[in-house]
Amino acid sequence: AKEAGRGCFRVYDAALHEVHEQKRDLETALHDAIEGDQFVLHFQPKVCSHTRAIVGREALIRWNRPGRGMVYPDNFIPVAEQSLLINDIGRWTIRAACEAAIKWDANETVAVNLSARQFLDPDLVEDIRNILHETGLNPSRLELEITETALILNKQLAATILMQLKAIGIKIALDDFGTGYSSMSYVQSFPFDRLKIDRSFVAAMNGDRKSRAIVEAIISLAHSLDIPVVAEGVETEEQASLLRSLLCEEIQGFLIARPEPFILSEQADPKSARS
């Protein structure tokens, strides 16, 4: 039994070693990705639930990894978050999003996702200030999407950062709303410009009475605090019409448009078409 136990332990060790190795390789590849300009942004519109007019676009990062094709954020952002790589990726993302938005209709906002670590980066506010200055984007057109995780870690610091961002004129959205632990207290104590209902509730809404009740509760909570609501992951007309009847201001999802590269003709570059 002792022998077998030790054997198991060795197998476990080897597996753990493998995992560490893979993580290190991924970190190295991510480092090269930053240097080598391998990230791209796709944009997904947010529209008015009544008129379907575009009010803004959310930037979603993708990694054009050489030899591996398009890698989606869930497969590399968590690893980047465990190191300082996320801060470099984040700065790149904010800049690329602002550079894109400057070419759009001036009424449309651009939303950028920030992970907790990025949000708490002491250089964030100054970096954003510089990026806005250099790109010339009106701060009111930039919206940062943060999750509760960013606020839980250090409530005091988070409040200070939010105030500084708001003072610049930037908008703040609370993302994935309803999936966290103490969402209620956060909407009350932080100055959000928007709440985003998580797509898990939207997906379950039409069939399931309880999910629908949660969506209704989120919308009425937000409205009682004068905060407009965006529903993400809207895939069907049924969902869209229910959300409209619940007075949800904006919707986003495959029903309206999938995330896609925002290509203006002058940007068309044969090099970026390679895979």
Residues that bind Ca ion (CB under 5 A): 113, 145, 175-176, 198
Segment near ligand C2E (CB under 6 A); pick from 28-36, 107-115, 154-162, 242-250: 107-115
- The alpha-helical segments, DSSP class H, found in the chain are 2-35, 77-81, 85-101, 116-119, 124-135, 148-152, 155-168, 183-189, 199-204, 209-224, 237-245
Contacted entry of ligand C2E, Ca ion, none for residue 61, CB cut-off 5 to 8 Å set by kind: ligand C2E
- Pick from 151, 201, 152, 204: nearest CA to 176: 201
Binding to ligand C2E, residues 131-160 (CB under 6 A): 145
φ, ψ for residue 88, nearest 5 deg? -70, -45
CA dihedral 122, 126, 128, 131 (to 10 degrees): -140
Total interface residues for ligand C2E by CB under 6 A: 23
From residue 204, alpha-carbon distances to 125, 198, 211, 213, 217 in Å are: 37, 11, 6, 11, 15
Calpha distance 224→47 (Å, rounded): 22
CB of 202 to ligand C2E, least distance (A): 8
Q: Work out whether 45 is an interface residue with ligand C2E (CB under 6 A).
A: no
Contacted entry of ligand C2E, Ca ion, none for residue 183, CB cut-off 5 to 8 Å set by kind: none
> CB-wise, 43 or 190, nearer to ligand C2E?
43
Binding to ligand C2E, residues 184-223 (CB under 6 A): 199
Contact set with ligand C2E (CB under 6 A) = 44, 59-61, 72-74, 77, 93, 113-115, 145, 175-176, 199, 232-235, 253-254, 259
